[in-house]
């Protein structure tokens, strides 16, 4: 395939970025989207030009670092996959592909297509954990009976990889789906109920401090989530937050 690419280039967070046009040929349908970018970067390096900076790690849809806005959609036109799992067979010869970083005030651009998502880390640090007594009085977690339905729901929430697609898809750049998934994975389990009140309040407070917007109730976050995190988690977090704040 021969493709026309419009790619966001930005030297650093303080500089002004712009879209730059590139042409690429010989793209095979079995290539992944990131392999296509590798081919483009190799050609740029051979011509003495600076390659395009983009984030990636596992290339297996596990880490979420390959976050890209592709033709206006987080992770591209396919569903339930990350950008590294997107294959070029989803495009046609002669297509124009627009590639940008995720857009959100809380996700500042570091360079080109790489964004700073440490806001998610700080939300997680605010309460996305369970304090463990390691003094010798611990109880084996596997000895606590847990309803199968609740365990499955907790696991579904825990599959969130923190890629930020939910934020990029939301017109308010809301982090409600991410935050609610991290709240829910503990709120559904007995080990997480001990600190449930503090957890939801601290994580919601940090989410607001990071500058994420309010939930739009449009459901775009669930549609674009590569792991299919359910909107039910947002409803659960709202209930948890209401109960926590009503306790005074």
Beta bridge partners of 54: none
Concatenated DSSP letters for 15-58? SPPEEEEEEE----TTSBHHHHHHHHHHHHHHTTPPPPP---S-
Kindly report, residue by residue over 221-235, the tens digit of the pLDDT: 999 999 999 999 999
Find all residues with CB under 8 Å of 87, minimum gap 6, and list them. 29, 30, 31, 32, 33
Cα torsion through 161, 63, 189, 140, rounded to 10: -170
Kindly report, residue by residue over 43-97, the tens digit of the pLDDT: 999 999 999 999 999 999 999 999 999 999 999 999 999 999 999 999 999 999 9
Percent pLDDT > 90 in the chain is 91
Q: What pLDDT was estimated at residue 143?
A: 79
Kindly report, residue by residue over 103-145, the tens digit of the pLDDT: 999 999 999 999 999 999 999 999 999 887 767 776 676 778 8
Cα torsion through 24, 30, 36, 38, rounded to 10: -130
Q: What pLDDT was estimated at residue 86?
A: 98
Give the chain's domains with CATH numbers: 3-111 (3.10.20.30), 118-246 (1.10.1060.10)
Residue 22, token pair as written in the block: 């590139």
pTM over 0.85: yes
User: Would you say residue 17 has pLDDT above 90?
Assistant: yes
Residue 235, token pair as written in the block: 């409803």
């Amino acid at each position: 395939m021969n493709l026309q690419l419009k790619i966001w280039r930005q030297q650093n967070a303080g500089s002004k970025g712009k879209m730059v046009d590139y042409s690429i040929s010989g793209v095979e349908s079995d290539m992944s989207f990131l392999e296509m970018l590798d081919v483009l970067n190799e050609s740029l390096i051979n011509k003495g030009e600076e390659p395009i900076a983009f984030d990636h790690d596992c290339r297996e849809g596990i880490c979420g670092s390959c976050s890209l806005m592709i033709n206006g959609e987080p992770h591209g036109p396919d569903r339930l996959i990350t950008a590294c799992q997107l294959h070029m067979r989803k495009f046609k010869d002669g297509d124009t592909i627009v590639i940008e970083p995720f857009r959100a005030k809380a996700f500042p651009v570091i360079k080109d297509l790489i964004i700073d998502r440490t806001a998610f880390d700080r939300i997680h640090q605010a309460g996305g954990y369970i304090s463990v007594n390691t003094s010798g009085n611990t109880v084996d977690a596997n000895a606590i009976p847990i309803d199968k339905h609740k365990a499955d729901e907790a696991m579904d929430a825990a599959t969130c990889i923190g890629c930020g697609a939910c934020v990029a898809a939301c017109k308010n750049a809301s982090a409600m789906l991410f935050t609610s998934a991290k709240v829910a994975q503990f709120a559904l389990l007995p080990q997480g109920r001990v600190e449930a009140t503090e957890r939801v309040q601290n994580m919601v407070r940090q989410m607001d401090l990071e500058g994420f917007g309010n939930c739009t109730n449009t459901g775009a976050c669930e549609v674009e989530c590569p792991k299919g995190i359910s909107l039910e988690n947002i409803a659960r977090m709202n209930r948890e937050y209401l109960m926590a704040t009503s306790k005074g």
